[in-house]
Amino acid sequence: MLVEPDNIIDHENDSDIAPSTSVKSGQNKTLTLTDLERVAFAFKDMIVKFAAIQKIKLKEVHEKKSWGRDILKNVSVDTVMNRIKYERRVHRRVNNR
């Protein structure tokens, strides 16, 4: 079950970190488990209902929330977009069994 992004428990101290799909400035930037949960909830229409993935919409949603601005400080919009595409593929694969 997806949880509202503002109500997600912060897992920053957890050791579970999902690697990002891009490398920026020679440093490996990552999305934390908390970030992944927030992205999955905020963009569930794009993941579950296969709504169009638009970079401008991703940026707008992230800039409206403090957690979103924090994510964009660590990873690019392209990284978030790639993660949504990945989650969409996983969702499609699971539901086509």
Chain segment 18-54, per-residue pLDDT in tens? 544 444 444 457 889 999 999 999 999 999 998 999 9
Predicted confidence (pLDDT) at residue 7 exceeds the cutoff of 60: no
Predicted confidence (pLDDT) at residue 6 exceeds the cutoff of 90: no
pTM: 0.69
Radius of gyration of the chain (CA): 13
CB contact at 8 A, 4 and 41: yes
How many angstroms separate the CA atoms of 7 and 28, rounded? 27
Domain-embedded: residue 84: yes
Question: Per the structure, how many domains does the chain have?
Answer: 1
Domain-embedded: residue 57: yes
Task: Note the pLDDT of residue 2.
Answer: 54
Task: Note the pLDDT of residue 14.
Answer: 46
Instruction: Give 60-71 pLDDT, tens digit per residue.
Output: 999 999 999 999
How many angstroms separate the CA atoms of 54 and 21, rounded? 18
Domain-embedded: residue 59: yes
Range of 62's domain?
53-97
- Mean pLDDT (the chain) is 79
